[in-house]
Amino acid sequence: MSTESGNSSPSFSTGRRWFIGFHVLLAIAAVAVILMLVNYLSLRHYTRHHVSDSEQGEFTPTTLQVLKSLTNDVRVIIYFNPEEPMYPYVSSMLKEYAALSPHIKLESVNYATEPARAAEIITQFRLGAGSRDMVLFAANDRMEFVSEGQLSDMDMSELLQGKSKEVKRKAFKGELYFTAKLLSVSSARPYNAYYLTGHKEHDPTQDSELGYKKFIDLLAASNVRTAALDLQRTKEVPADCDLLVIAGPIHEPTTEELERVESYLGSGGRLLLLMNIYTRPGWERTLAKWGIATGRDVVFDEPNMQESGTLMVENRGSHPIVQAKDRLYLFYPRSVGKMPGFATQVDSAQVTELFSTGPAGEARTDFRKDVLTPYLAPADRKGEIPLAVAVEKGGLRNVTLQRGTTRLVVVGDSHMLDNQYMSAPGNEEFARQSINWLLDRSFLLGAIGPRAFTEYQLSVSNSQMTLLRWIMLGAMPGGVFAFGLLVWLRRRR
């Protein structure tokens, strides 16, 4: 039996069709609600994973700790022209900072296309009229900035050797400076460092090679205020002194000055003392009380020494101050090490040698000719000669210290932190880590090093370039045209 198509009954009744449609709409609504709930939860509870096979995008534990410790909002302004080469690196990294901490309030101002907004920023933060390409950090009525020039290390080796006419950026230092500025503006109070004067020390205000302006700037970037201190006029080290810096004293200290320094250290003071080959006797007496032996010598290490007197040091100890991998540069240093047998004299003091020469080191003491060209006397030490120490001493029995644990860092060369040698990444990192350890900021002792720029170079000969040109301009478009023609012919058939 057959039935005419015109008389066939519908597959579903009208009510069933409405019922199915309602269920479809209900399912769509349910999926939409689920998606909104998932987005709502993911906005507040999420994790970030770096999928790159390198560690370029990962922050150090130090930065993560600083971001975690923020309790007040920090305003961060990217005052940049997006056309600048450094802008993508700066913007990308600071977006990561903002993603990791809700207290980072990130803004971006393009001074090239937003003149009114740029003028407002310049007025608000009292910047110079020509200021440009910087990152501003503001919180707690304090402001810090990082300029574009500070954000990268330049590789000039090939230019100086005549191999190239280009100067390349070799490392990005954004994390290093951004974390330091965050710490500076968000800290409850800045620390106070006093810079001893009156003994022909390095000038902290000069930007010449022998000046200490870069070191003072590093202190400022580390949230440490500095002031000059003349102990010949002041009866004692100020009570608010968190760190006493003595950099390259030449003239001999008076007995009263030594007593004031010893009183400061005895009450839990912190001292960074950098001597040099011209430092006259006097400080040795105070240092000996802390188990530090300083030699009247000049240390040589021929395999690692340049004709200019620069000594390259890679032999480090296990102390947190010297965990960075970059080599250190010193200028004709003198020996500074642990005094033999000192552990039996003061039980609570811990003296740790920080770095030393290689096995070919010599501590020369025969100065018949010149202080810079001494002879090696028969009794002079040979081998690994220590050049710096760190000392820590806890509270004495039945004595309450005003400042807590006493800490000292003593180095046999003051030039390693002058403006010229501070340009070396290892020296700058040593200075930074010494400051953090002396101030007992242990969470900042994790090294934040520069991130190397990754470059890829493709070398192509003239014949290979011609072949690539034919492939790009002829073969690839021709292949697409031939494939289209083949499809058209097949459909025609």
Is the dihedral angle over the CA atoms 37, 38, 44, 45 positive or is it negative? positive
Give the confidence band of 57 by pLDDT, cuts at 50, 70, 90: low
Dist. CA 263–CA 271, nearest whole Å:
12
What is 61-168's CATH number? 3.40.30.10
Best CA proximity match to 290, nearest among 346, 238, 226: 346
pLDDT at 400 over 70: no
| DSSP string across 281-320 | TTHHHHHHTTTEEE-SSEEE-GGGB-TTSEEEE-EE-SSG
pLDDT at 227 over 80: yes
Report the share of the chain in percent with pLDDT over 70: 84
Tokens describing residue 131: 């200021």
Tokens describing residue 194: 């006093």
Dist. CA 139–CA 183, nearest whole Å:
10
Host H or E run for residue 459? none
Pick the CATH number of 190-442 from 3.40.50.410, 3.40.220.10, 3.20.20.140, 3.40.50.880: 3.40.50.880
In contact, 245 and 193? CB cutoff 8 Å = yes
Please tell me whether residue 138 adopts helix, strand or coil conformation. strand
Per-residue pLDDT, 247? 95
| DSSP for residue 375 | B
| DSSP string across 58-98 | PPPHHHHHHHHH--S-EEEEEE--TTSTTHHHHHHHHHHHH
274-304 pLDDT tens trace: 999 999 889 998 999 899 999 999 999 999 9
Strands (DSSP E) along 214-348, which ranges?
A: 224-229, 243-247, 270-274, 292-294, 298-300, 310-313, 315-316, 328-331, 336-338
Q: Is 298 exposed, middle or buried (0-12, 13-18, 19+ CB in 10 A)?
A: buried
The Cβ-side half-sphere exposure at 63, using a 13 Å CA radius, reads 22
115-130 pLDDT tens trace: 999 999 999 988 888 8
Give the confidence band of 53 by pLDDT, cuts at 50, 70, 90: very low
Dist. CA 342–CA 398, nearest whole Å:
22
pLDDT at 49 over 80: no
pTM: 0.69
Q: What residue ranges do the domains of the chain occupy?
A: 61-168, 190-442
Helices (runs of H) and strands (runs of E) counted in the chain? 12, 21
